């Protein structure tokens, strides 16, 4: 359970988050949506204290993060995974080492690391890419490596900052399906920030609409499910022609 109580965050004159209180249940997929500048990403970063609130408290699974010492905070972050719009992988490390690094940081028992990395790679279906470098991967594959890295340490929470915003629709569906299955099979709580309504609608159970750093409304919805997208080139042709007709 994640509880933000009355949190605020200011950057010089600009108030990014203004007295926000939200609570996210364990095991749910929670969406944060709103126009750019609404404070979605800042709010997400307040959950693992990548941004430190000026006031208010952050409570994750009973632990009040805002009261922790620096070392205790490092430790707490290890059980909160995070993925990003631009993946943020280490370009100079292989896929395997990118995942392994989070295990190393968490002091995961050395003899079990290899097995755990392989397990995570299987989960995101990238076993055959273990020795590749990020440069050699497509955007979707990079995001799956990032997901594997975030999962390696068996977190109970996964924070997703615009995870599909630099991906095409087909790859977006693929990533959403992975997130969905993480939630289903591993019971990981997922908080997802996106400006894409389709993304939010397809997997979220509750959505918080933000505006000007405040909660506008929180709505419960029935997720539409991830639609697999037809890759056939004819679909592009059809769509282009359809556009032409409606323009005419």
Partner 1 sequence: MPENLLLYQTEIIKAILETFMMVGASVLAAIIVGLPVGTLLYSTQKGRLAENRYIYIVVSLIVNSIRSFPFLLLVVFLIPFTRLLLGTAIGTTAAMVPLAIIAIAHYSRLVEQSLLDVPRGVIEAAKSMGASVSDIIVKFLFVEARSGLVLGLTTSTISFISYSTIMGVVGGGGIGDFAIRYGYQQFKTDLMMYMIIIMIILVQSIQIIGTTIAQKIDKR
Site for partner 1 in 47-76 (CB under 8 A): 48, 50, 70-71, 73-76
The token pair that represents 196 in the structure block: 């894409």
80 touches partner 1 by CB under 8 A: yes
Which H or E element spans position 175?
A: helix 169-186
* Region from 30-38, 145-153, 210-218, 233-241 binding partner 1, contact rule CB under 8 A: 145-153
CB neighbour list of residue 161: distance below 8 Å, 6 or more residues apart: 41, 44, 45, 82, 83, 84, 85, 193
Contact 192, 163 (CB under 8 A): yes
Considering only residues 46, 89, 151, 167, which one is a binding residue for partner 1 as defined by CB under 8 A?
A: 89
Residue placing its CB nearer to partner 1 in the complex, 86 or 242 = 86
**Rounded to whole angstroms, what are the CA distances from 27 to 134, 190, 210, 236, 243?**
31, 7, 22, 37, 41
* Region from 10-18, 54-62, 129-137, 186-194 binding partner 1, contact rule CB under 8 A: 129-137
209 touches partner 1 by CB under 8 A: no
Count of residues engaged in binding partner 1, rule: CB under 8 A = 34
CA–CA separation, 108 and 42 (whole Å): 30
90 touches partner 1 by CB under 8 A: yes
10 touches partner 1 by CB under 8 A: no
Residue placing its CB nearer to partner 1 in the complex, 121 or 226 = 121
160 touches partner 1 by CB under 8 A: no
């Amino acid at each position: 359970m994640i509880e933000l109580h009355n949190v605020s965050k200011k950057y010089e004159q600009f108030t990014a988050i203004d007295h926000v209180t939200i609570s996210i249940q364990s095991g749910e997929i929670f969406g944060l949506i709103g126009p750019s500048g609404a404070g979605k990403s800042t709010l997400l970063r307040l959950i693992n204290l990548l941004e430190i609130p000026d006031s208010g408290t952050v409570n994750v699974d009973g632990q009040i993060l805002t009261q922790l010492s620096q070392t205790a905070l490092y430790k707490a972050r290890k059980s909160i995974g995070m993925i990003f719009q631009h993946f943020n992988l280490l370009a100079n490390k292989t896929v395997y080492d990118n995942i392994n690094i989070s295990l190393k940081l968490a002091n995961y028992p050395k003899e079990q690391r290899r097995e755990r990395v392989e397990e995570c790679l299987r989960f995101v279906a990238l076993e055959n890419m273990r020795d590749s470098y990020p440069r050699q991967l497509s955007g979707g594959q990079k995001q799956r490596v990032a997901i594997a890295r975030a999962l390696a340490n068996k977190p109970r929470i996964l924070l997703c900052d615009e995870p599909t915003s630099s991906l095409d629709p087909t790859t977006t569906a693929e990533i959403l399906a992975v997130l969905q299955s993480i939630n289903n099979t591993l019971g990981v709580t997922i908080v997802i920030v996106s400006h894409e309504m389709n993304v939010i609608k397809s997997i979220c159970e509750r959505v918080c609409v933000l505006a000007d750093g405040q909660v506008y409304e929180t709505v419960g919805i029935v997720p539409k499910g991830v639609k697999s997208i037809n890759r056939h080139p004819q679909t592009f042709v059809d769509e282009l022609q359809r556009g032409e007709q409606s323009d005419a």
